[in-house]
Structure formats: C-alpha cells, structure tokens
Copies of this chain bind each other. A is one copy, B any other.
C-alpha cells in the first residue's frame, strides 16, 4: 500500500482525473525563460546570464490545454514554435486514405512545431495527451533574437539537429527491427527521456494507447499488446494497463541492441 503511494509520486506528472478543460486558455507568461525551472532542458539551455534578459523577451504567453485538445493541425499557418512546459503530446499525420500515423511523442522541455518552418504551414497534427501547458514562441521573434544572440542561435540549431537525428533513429527502428525490438526500444527511449527529466527510469506511465504506440512503431495494436504481455511473462517488465516497470534494463538493452 505504502509503496504504491510512494511510487505514484515518482512516476512522472500525476495523471489528473479528467479535467473539465476542453477549450484552450491563453495567459500572459508569469516568468521569463531565465527563471524557468526548465531552462537547462529547453531552448535556453547553455545561454549565459548576460544574454538572459534578451531571451526573456522571447516568450510572451503560455497556452493551457486540456486532454485531447489540438495544439495545431496540418495545413494551418505556422507562426510559432511551442515549448512543452507540462504535459505530453503526440504528433501525427493522416494519409489521403485516412490512415493515421503517429510521428512522435513530446514531453516536458521539448520543442514542437519545427515541421512548419519550411513552408510556413504545419505539416502534422499535434494533440495533448493529458492536460498540458506550452510556452508560445513566436517564430519571427525567435529568428530575430537568434540573430542577436549567437548562443541562442547555436542552441536552436542543435535542437533542430537533434530532431533530425531522432527521426533518423526512428527510421532505423522502423526499417530494420523486429516487432519485439521495436517495442523494447520504445520503452527504453521513454525511460531515458523520463530519467533526463528527473523521473524514474524504470517506472512510468505510458500516456499512449496500444494503438498509438503501434502506429508510432509501425505495428498493429494487437501486436503491441501481445509483445508487452510476453515481455511480462519472461520477467523483463511488469505492465498493468498504462503503468510499466522495467525490471531488467540490461537485458532490455540487449534486446533492443542499444549501445548504451
């Protein structure tokens, strides 16, 4: 009993009972980036205090979003990037014939919207998977500031590069891994990202449904379900609905062929 309670506090943001929030909610940003507790994870990472006043002019507002609410849709005009301040998002595309493909999951400190820069139109849809808050970063302002503050420019470029590397890692996963390896790689990826944010690396909530996970991994939901069950049977994980525990990280890494 006790342990269950303790556990709950250590596995990422608590899942709120579904809130009544369904419409978005813009508010003026109470603090600047320089005093944000995410500054070491987010876009301002690595920027010296000398420049931080300038950086504080980058973000004017935050947007509070309810579960299942859409941040933006494909084909709509691009004007801003968004930094996840709290919560969890998925991005997905819909093909001509209605197939939906999840192209990414986004958590605290990650930047959303890079797909829109090229054509000034968004290419994907982004939806909150729980009640969330994003900082709105007007893109013309970011470009302006990046021109003035080389450290910001560098950091922005690094974030885009990271996105490219990350995407190509997913291509590798989709192009040359078996279903089991994919599922394990997915769990380990989440584990690592939670750990980088100070949450438990071995116990966390899957915000995504089996179907969303499957879509992301190029598998059907039944396959995901079967594989999670099998990993549990052989004692590598414990899974109950959306709560996972990784019982043997080393063995899992071996399966996923992770170099780490």
- Tell me the A residues contacting B by CB distance below 8 Å: 93, 95-97, 99, 101, 103-104, 114-118, 123-124, 143, 146-147, 150, 153-154, 157-165, 167-168, 170-172, 174-176, 215-218, 257-259
Contacts and interface: CB of A to CB of B under 8 A. Distances in A.
Contacts of A175: 101, 174, 215-218
A90 to B, nearest CB: 13
Contacts of A259: 96
Contacts of A160: 114, 117, 157, 160-161, 164
A170 to B, nearest CB: 6
Report how many copies the assembly holds.
Answer: 2
A164 B115 contact: yes
B114 A161 contact: yes
A185 to B, nearest CB: 11
B101 A171 contact: yes
B150 A150 contact: no
Contacts of A218: 174-176
Contacts of A161: 114-118, 160
25 contacts: A95-B257, A96-B257, A96-B258, A97-B257, A101-B171, A101-B172, A104-B168, A115-B164, A115-B165, A116-B161, A117-B157, A118-B158, A118-B159, A118-B161, A143-B154, A143-B157, A153-B153, A160-B160, A160-B161, A164-B164, A167-B167, A170-B171, A171-B174, A175-B215, A175-B217
